[in-house]
A and B are shown apart, each in its own frame.
Chain A
């Protein structure tokens, strides 16, 4: 939280737009920080010049102890002419002339904090290349490969205009969260204009030169990492000394991740997430949601989210939800992931993944709101499902408990209820029950 506070107070001025357990946060900094800590992937949207890239740079610098100069030098900027050679690596031309094959890796592929500016200006093939690399941590060029042990991705995107491509659905799904870097308001904006740039706080020419030298050296990647870490630690100590905030060392990050992973989910948080996932994937008629199939007229489940959306929730969604909710819980120093953590993390993990039906989009388009439309719709959806959960949480937990007992071999009947999750429980249980017990 020290890093969050430092960025909020000194580097990125903006209003809080998220309240969790009575504490107010700015969603852009908060989720960027979690992305850095959890090795996540974040999509930052917003109008040009409202701090999308800057916020990511500050977070990366403080979480990974890289001076800003290195972060800037490793950013990939999105434009249609961008090539694999500038993103991943290029042949070593000197060696090539001598008939040898070797790869010069880019800083982007080598350092753990990866920022892609204006990803939607990249052609879809290049977007896919970056996300594939980030998905697995493997960067391949010619016959060589480097493996990133630790990495996170921040991609910024402007709203659609003439110069942008769309980010296709499978690629969008790879992002864990989407946040908006919004206008801070006239007064804070004026303050930003009035005050001097704060970049110099996180700059150090000597360490930047040193890091450049190591990253551009011909040493194998595995040997570069400890050297990079050494310089980063020195830069971290410098930042701690000069501004009072301690950036995170490699072992700190590892320990934090371990602590986050060890946090358990409360039963309510688990049941609520299952309920939401059921609504985002259920189709009574066709077995599951599919983008190419349309809902049946007069379907019994018309009131649920499945009737309002086109696509099916992916398996990446529950991973993002759990990871970010655990991280929120850790940051707030709570003992277990509860409903509040889930409800706070959910809209940002859902916003970019849900494809709403056109009629829903046109219905709510003019609603009064503070958030960008996809985040607003996701927040509304989470509110609706949480209302439904409040009404039937006990019965739902009973149904899940009965499911567990049937799974263990007890001869019980699955509970009935008016929600897709009851049907899902029945489907799971039916496949595990001996045939002679099936009705």
Chain B
């Protein structure tokens, strides 16, 4: 008899005998033709991952072109040039405001993005915001460990960018008529070179605020550490107009 039946076959037969007469609790679904379907959540995750890959690749290309040696100096020309490169990559991606927020958090994850260089990263995020489909963008960044520099660069008219949390240096520089709201603190050179629009900072702001600003308004809910050389525009501190007025520049501590 040995060799006539394989042990697996014998086990299967035994099982068949065992289950005979056992009621199938899923009997009603016997005729249901099931298809390999993916859960809606899986599809959402998949498409989000796809978009995130594209955004990540755009950022890596920007770094390849602008920060070859992983060093990046904040200078007028480098900012303009890096922003142009960022614009070029961003235009090719179909993304939403939520993807921008995800990207901000992905920057802190070294497994996803190996190099986080604050300057180009900020410009890239600014380009993402400026070319987003949504008119109003909310970025919940209060859980972020590092502040992003250069956020809100050249925010165009009609756009509103709200940041929950703190922002870094050069926030809202070169603003072009948009409205930038920071529900936290910002660092130095906020609103430098802005041409129009509004920056609202709920808490405190650093040095050189509004340096060479050509128009627009900056509202600060807390304290201004120091004003820059302002050409034109208005700066308010706790609803009080501080420029034009009793000028305290450059970097007068008070």
Contact = CB atoms under 8 A, between A and B. Distances in A.
Interface of A: 265, 267, 270-271, 391-392, 394-395, 397-398, 400-405, 407-409, 417, 425, 428, 432-436
Nearest to A391: B40
B12 to A, nearest CB: 6
B123 to A, nearest CB: 39
19 contacts: A265-B28, A267-B28, A394-B37, A395-B37, A397-B34, A400-B26, A400-B28, A401-B33, A404-B26, A404-B30, A404-B32, A407-B19, A407-B25, A407-B26, A409-B16, A425-B26, A435-B11, A436-B11, A436-B12
A404 B29 contact: yes
B24 A404 contact: yes
A426 B61 CA distance: 47
A234 to B, nearest CB: 45
A408 B35 contact: no
Interface class of chain A by DSSP: helix
B15 interface: yes
The 8 closest A-B pairs by CB, nearest first: A434-B15, A398-B34, A404-B26, A401-B32, A400-B29, A403-B26, A401-B34, A407-B24
A265 B29 CA distance: 11
A400 B8 contact: no
A412 to B, nearest CB: 10
Interface of B: 8, 11-12, 14-16, 19, 22, 24-30, 32-35, 37, 39-40
Contacts of A402: 34
Nearest to B22: A432
Contacts of B14: 434
Nearest to A433: B15
A409 B12 CA distance: 9
Contacts of A271: 29
The interface centre, meaning the residue of B8, B16, B35, B39 with most chain A CB atoms within 10 A of its CB, is: B39
B39 A398 contact: no
B37 A398 contact: yes
Given A395-B39, A428-B25, A436-B8, A400 B15 contact: no
A267 B8 contact: no
B28 A270 contact: yes
B176 to A, nearest CB: 43
A10 to B, nearest CB: 42
A433 B34 CA distance: 20
A392 B43 CA distance: 13
A408 B26 CA distance: 10
A122 to B, nearest CB: 39
Nearest to A408: B24
A402 B29 CA distance: 8
